[in-house]
Structure 1
């Protein structure tokens, strides 16, 4: 990556009005380097250990939780309630802030205060070993500032240097499958009773998610047209369909459960702008879309899943479970009506 001193990065940030992630890409540095450069100038390093960090975030009350990958950003407003810690995976199980976290990717964390014309903006920002954003927490006007002060006091790290040696970013694994294992894949697919068994299944077959989709065939998966993505959001909104929308990266998955009220496309972006849920999706990044059917004890789990040109997962969308107010039949009909890839080619 390009070398810039912390003072250079502070100066360049002061001159920039766009998103930090875009500035980082333009400069050839990790986004985490921009935040680290602000240590001693409005930012402090804090302990990224989830078991310490999440109780302190919960105490902040109403905040905005942001998780993103290269193609999609999800923002949910709420409180980080019902945290469950774990060595390999952790979670929050609040109706609004519903997340799955993988602690080994929570490497660098900062408490950031930035002066703006609208006042001081406060946030917790977490990055992985490569300096890519894993998760961010943005305080709101109603957030508890005494709890914020306590978070900074209690979690402050010993190391308060303003630069970090980030490692290389892990490459995206392309689709991986073995055609001679297709029949074995389908047999094990038929035997699934829970969607969480899928990762174990494909690992056993020496495949990854996209590779398995490419060889499984109907009725397990159906290729959809790229236009199925905007059609999905439009129909979910128009028909008031309850969904579970998953957006994540290697370290964090954030989930919206509910409906879509306000959909506003703008250029390549598909935007959901609801009161306590925002979504920003680069439709031009979508290269493959699949309708996926998995058997479970509670009936078929049907999802729409989008991937970029390198094979990275952009999002997954399921129907909201019936016990949460969803309508399985309505969701199945919606997915069945999305444009197929063969229709687009024809």
Structure 2
């Protein structure tokens, strides 16, 4: 089947004008362009190209005050209102460690960024949007009514690159990795798993032994990893809300991971989406994209860390949840996670 032609910037603007209510990602797909190309088409109009370096961008965001931070992947959208603070720079990984906005940043994927100012049904909308080398959104910052608009305008002037380029050059996305298993290293994996003292040691361990996250879970089995019913994530959110159990919810992509720590209250399914709709935290999860859910046990110096993790059909991580560390440990979370239903043995091993 021939590849459809890629829309030009002017064709993109015409399509946006003709479809003002269509979601950006859906419009981009219909035009055979990336979401980044959709934004870039408006450079010189409602969009300004800005420096994507997080060492420059994040300190500028800190001056704007209260905003909404958004990080997503193909199956989940994580939105958190708060103030960017306590930024820690790093050449490989940086962090924002605010009381509400909590990020892990991987700078090599922050390829291009834009400041967007556009008129909407409820007035002027302002945002800063970062994209990777493939044209996919890495992280977005949306201004709220309490945001400092003057600080935003100053930041845009300071960060502006001066480029008026309206196209977005991309590199091909890598193929999904899927589960990686090295059977001859399985005994070593289990032994080293038992010796872990911190959850952050896990990815170094799996990489060294030629596994990846999902491959390690499938290969190690219980008690390290147990496969759950696919509706366990929705059940987890509903029970955490009803029982007032605080939890950490991680959603990320290659360039950014965003974390909510605390209670969740309003859980509302809408079609294929499972949603958390709280005043300062929203989660939008495509429940129909969940192909595998795992309950994972990892030893740490402060006791076992138990996570609930879900993956899509291509083996890509969608979402992780942990308990919030409190005095005496996250016992309520451990009980909640432990009560989620396992798959029957025959189905789990299929």
The alignment's TM-score, normalised by the length of structure 1, stands at 0.97
- 1:170-209 to structure 2, matched below 5 A, reads 170-209=174-213
> In structure 2, do the counterparts of structure 1 residues 343 and 208 end up closer, same or farther at CA, with 3 Å as the change threshold?
closer
1:296 aligns with 2:300: yes
Distance 2:300 2:186 in 1: 20
Output one character per residue of 1:8-34: Cα deviation in whole Å (capped at 9) or x when no partner: 101111222122112112222110000
Distance 1:145 1:335 in 2: 43
Distance 1:47 1:345 in 2: 49
Distance 1:335 1:156 in 2: 47
Distance 1:18 1:141 in 2: 24
1:73 aligns with 2:70: no
5+ long unaligned stretches in structure 2: none
1:280 paired residue number: 284
Aligned length: 344
1:332 aligns with 2:334: yes
1:152 aligns with 2:153: no
Using the TM superposition, name which of 220-229 and 299-308 deviates more.
Answer: 220-229
> In structure 2, do the counterparts of structure 1 residues 57 and 344 end up closer, same or farther at CA, with 3 Å as the change threshold?
farther
- Runs of 4+ residues over 2 Å off in structure 1: 343-346
Secondary structure at the residue paired with 1:261? Answer: coil
Q: How large is the RMSD of aligned CA atoms in angstroms? A: 1.4
5+ long unaligned stretches in structure 1: none
2:122 paired residue number: 118
Distance 1:230 1:77 in 2: 22
CA contact (8 A) 1:225 1:344 kept: no
1:61 aligns with 2:65: yes
Distance 2:292 2:264 in 1: 23
Distance 1:218 1:332 in 2: 16
CA contact (8 A) 2:307 2:321 kept: yes
The alignment's TM-score, normalised by the length of structure 2, stands at 0.96
- 1:248-263 to structure 2, matched below 5 A, reads 248-263=252-267
1:142 paired residue number: 146
